[in-house]
Amino acid sequence: MKVDLFSIISIILATGTLITSICAIIVQNKYKKLKNDIKKHFEDFYFIEDKIYDVVIIGPRYSGKTSLLGLWFSPWFDISKTKPSNDMVTININGPDIKKYNKFDSTFGLERTYREKLVLRVHAYTGEEAQREEAFKGLPNLNNPVLILFLYIDANNTGLINDNKNNTYYSKKFMLSIKDKYFKYINKVFVIINKIDLLPKHLNQNSKEVLKLVRINNSDAIERIESLFSPVEYRLISCETNENITKLLGDLVSSEVKEIIDLKNNLNG
Ligand SMILES: Nc1nc2c(ncn2[C@@H]2O[C@H](COP(=O)(O)OP(=O)(O)O)[C@@H](O)[C@H]2O)c(=O)[nH]1
Ligand SMILES: [Mg+2]
């Protein structure tokens, strides 16, 4: 059989073209699969964006600030192990998702789902007077700051023990300096009466009565606080028995985001 050079070259070229085409199809299919896999991945996947809201805690020494922070951060926290400290502490607490939305991603040519998560960034300052001022200097840079003012409470089985710590801490000078420089940055104020477990049994379930006694014992501090921040919300809590600890966190979340949307409706809709 006579085979000329032209035929040989034609066969080689044809085979080459065939192999190249097969490779191209394989690569194309592989690419298509990869593209589909990525698309599927992003369709199933959602991105979480943190929406940070700030909470600032101040109050006299031994009022329970570190204990509350410890319980919020880890519910198994042992408050008897809290030590007096000179450092301010900042912790992030993850709250619920507050929004769901889609954004077009031009790289992959598809819509991605985003969930906005509320994060409470809680700054707790020590009870020292210098720190008391520090807490407020940072306010202009915070997002929608809620202020938590602790009152120092001590009690025995007859009732509250009178003490001047709160009147000294929330001094006239200090409160006037807040009014002049920082008042406009504060979104909402909670006043915390902690250690209600120390109160006699007949008192600790009667919040009106407790509040009345606290007012009498701390009239200067409370007058200054109320005249500056009215309306203030009082919360009676116990870091010892965990009473109202989680509820307070819930109140903070809902005061930060006025229109928290029901998760069930929002995330499924
Ligand atoms: N009985 C009682 N003791 C508490 C409560 N909260 C805090 N303590 C105690 O009070 C002391 C001061 O608490 P701490 O959180 O360090 O106060 P801080 O100085 O404001 O940070 C510690 O010995 C705590 O164990 C409470 O609700 N009840
Ligand atoms: Mg502390």
Q: Could you report the per-residue pLDDT of 132-185, keeping only the tens digit for each? A: 888 899 899 999 899 999 999 999 888 899 899 999 999 999 999 998 889 899
- Token match 């989680």: residue? 246
Q: Of 171, 154, 172, which Cα lies nearest the Cα of 163?
A: 154
Q: What is the DSSP letter of 183?
A: G
SS3 242: coil
239 CA from centroid of ligand 1 (Å): 7
Of these ranges, 84-93, 98-107, 240-249, the one predicted with the greatest mean pLDDT is 240-249
123 CA from centroid of ligand 1 (Å): 17
115 CA from centroid of ligand 1 (Å): 37
Q: What is the pLDDT of residues 92-145, one digit of tens each?
A: 988 888 888 888 888 877 788 888 888 999 999 988 888 888 889 989 999 989
| Spatial CB neighbours of 197, under 8 Å, sequence gap ≥ 6 | 204, 238, 240, 241, 243
- Give the confidence band of 258 by pLDDT, cuts at 50, 70, 90: low
Residue 81 is predicted with a pLDDT of: 82
Ligand of minimum distance to the alpha carbon of 243: 1
Instruction: Specify the ligand 1 atom closest to the Cα of 67.
Output: 15
- Give the confidence band of 268 by pLDDT, cuts at 50, 70, 90: very low
- Give the confidence band of 26 by pLDDT, cuts at 50, 70, 90: confident
31 is written with which tokens? 């690419």
CB atoms within 10 A of CB 53: 22
As a whole number of angstroms, the distance between CA 2 and CA 10 comes to 15
CATH code, residues 46-268: 3.40.50.300
Nearest CA to ligand 1 atom 28: 195
**Res. 83: pLDDT tops 50:** yes
Q: What is the mean pLDDT of the chain?
A: 86
Which of 57, 58, 65, 67 gets mutated to test ligand 1 (max ligand atoms within 8 A of its CB)?
A: 67
As a whole number of angstroms, the distance between CA 83 and CA 202 comes to 31
* Percentage of residues in the chain having pLDDT higher than 90: 43
Backbone CA torsion sign across 148, 153, 159, 163:
negative
Residue 247 is predicted with a pLDDT of: 93
Instruction: Specify the ligand 1 atom closest to the Cα of 198.
Output: 1
Residue 91 is predicted with a pLDDT of: 87
**Res. 18: pLDDT tops 50:** yes
**Res. 43: pLDDT tops 90:** no
Residue 153 is predicted with a pLDDT of: 96
**Res. 205: pLDDT tops 80:** no
Q: What is the largest CA-CA distance in the chain?
A: 122
Judge if the beta carbon of residue 61 lies within 6 A of ligand 1.
Answer: yes
Residue 2 is predicted with a pLDDT of: 63
Residue 209 is predicted with a pLDDT of: 93
Q: Of 144, 124, 143, 146, which Cα lies nearest the Cα of 135?
A: 124
Strand partners, 53: 120
Judge if the beta carbon of residue 131 lies within 6 A of ligand 1.
Answer: no
- Global pTM reads 0.80
Strand partners, 190: 148, 233
Specify the amino acid at residue 93: I
Contact 67, 248 (CB under 8 A): no
CB atoms within 10 A of CB 20: 10
- CA geometry: angle at 167 spanning 184 and 63, to 5°? 85
As a whole number of angstroms, the distance between CA 226 and CA 11 comes to 96
As a whole number of angstroms, the distance between CA 235 and CA 178 comes to 22
**Res. 56: pLDDT tops 70:** yes
Rg (CA), the chain: 31
68 CA from centroid of ligand 1 (Å): 8
Judge if the beta carbon of residue 239 lies within 6 A of ligand 1.
Answer: yes
Residue 148 is predicted with a pLDDT of: 96
